[in-house]
Amino acid sequence: MPEFWVASGHHLTRLDAAGRMLVTDELLLAWLARPEVMPPADACAAERAIHARLMADPRAPVPALQLAAMHDADARENWAFLLRLREILLEEGSIEAGYARIVHEGVRLPVVFMNQLVQLILRNALDGCQDAQVVRAAELMFRPQRGQVKDGVLMLADPNGAPMGMPVSDLERTPFDSYVIPGLVLLLLWGCGSLVTAFGLWRRPQWPLLIRLTAWSGQHWAWAASIALGLALLVWLTVQVFTLPAVAVIQYILYALAALLIALPLLPSMRRRYRLPAADRV
């Protein structure tokens, strides 16, 4: 299997005789180059000085007074977290021992740092693994996940769309910056909505609220829901055509499905089957 999780920094560590990852200057320098750590354009002189000093010597001590001289309170807090993490790792010598101490002592660190440590430890544990499914399952331990059903599962499992080969850049012409909201629409509308409609068409339950909402049509609520789903699917697909960079074959298939959802309920036999009793019509 090709090298995986390059961003973990595993290739920047060295292993001791027991197979534990030693904390190296290269790893510390990689962390100092992270976007969350790099001083922004408006950073004060004290923050820039600390960053420059550590880039020259990632193990250099940082006096508390120099840290306190930072103007931005958030920057001071972020650097305090990073320096505390560095201190523990250097004292313990290995990533594994440092993580164990952090957990044992209940040291408070940002989630991004904890996820980085977990990813590193898992990457070392899975070194040589050839099963892509095992590697993907391991990501559950450090990467935020969201559940979904059927087609929506991959979109919500990894909001950046990577497992489906759908980069977030595909959404640049839409109001969304991830696949979370589109995935929720798939879950609630096409997932739950389709199941409820299918059940309604099958058993024709007389649910008072839904009957009142669709009584104007003179038909059972599931009949109206089928047409509504078809129309919503047409709108959804049309928006995709005009906003996404490419049109897939599945979209043409779904256009045909949307047409069926609208056309089939309009057949005379279907209208007779799902006509409401006279007492329930508006």
Same domain? For 208 and 131 the reply is no
Domain assignment present for 190: no
pLDDT at 167 over 70: no
Q: Are residues 105 and 218 in the same domain?
A: no
Q: 217 and 133 in one domain? A: no
b (16+ CB within 10 A) / e for 27-66:
bbbbbbeeeeeebeeebeebbebbbeebeeebeeebeeee
The confidence band for 240, taking pLDDT boundaries of 50, 70 and 90, is confident
Give dist(CA 46, CA 49) in Å, integer: 5
pLDDT for 90 beyond 70: yes
When comparing pLDDT for 141 and 66, which is higher?
66
Q: How confident is the model at residue 121 (pLDDT cuts 50, 70, 90)?
A: very high
In a domain, 50, yes or no: yes
Report residue 30 as tokens. Answer: 């990689």
Q: Over 80: is that where the pLDDT of 150 sits?
A: no
Interval 213-239: pLDDT, tens: 888 888 989 999 999 999 999 998 898
pLDDT tops 50 at residue 171: yes
First to last CA, the chain: 65
Tell me if 234 is assigned to some domain. yes
- Whether this prediction's pTM lies above 0.85 is answered by no
pLDDT on residue 98: 95
* pLDDT over 70 (residue 15): yes
Q: What angle do CA 266, 272, 274 make, to 5 degrees?
A: 80
Could you give the residue ranges of the DSSP H alpha helices within the chain? 25-32, 45-56, 64-68, 73-92, 95-105, 111-125, 132-138, 153-157, 180-185, 194-203, 208-214, 221-243, 249-263, 268-273
Determine which of 73-87, 124-138, 193-207 has the lowest per-residue pLDDT on average. 124-138
- Tell me the β-bridge partners of 94: 22
What one-letter code names the amino acid at 65?
A: L
The verdict on residue 167 lying in a domain is no
Q: Which of 79, 90, 68 is nearest to 37 (CA)?
A: 79
User: Could you tell me if 131 and 224 lie in one domain?
Assistant: no
Question: Mean of the pLDDT values across residues 99-128?
Answer: 91
Residue 220 contacts residue 274 (beta carbons within 8 Å):
yes
User: Domains in the chain: how many in total?
Assistant: 2
Would you state the pLDDT for residue 281?
Answer: 62
Q: Are residues 132 and 215 in the same domain?
A: no
More confident residue, 244 or 149: 244
What is the C-alpha separation between 24 and 16, in angstroms, rounded? 12
Q: State what percent of residues in the chain have pLDDT above 90.
A: 42
Q: Which residues form the domain of 71? A: 6-141
H or E element at residue 14? strand 14-15
Residue 33 counted as domain residue: yes
Residue 149 is predicted with a pLDDT of: 45
In a domain, 172, yes or no: no
Residue 146, pLDDT > 90, answer no
Lowest mean pLDDT among 24-28, 89-93, 207-211: 207-211
Both tokens of residue 10?
Answer: 């595993």
* pLDDT beyond 50 at 156: no
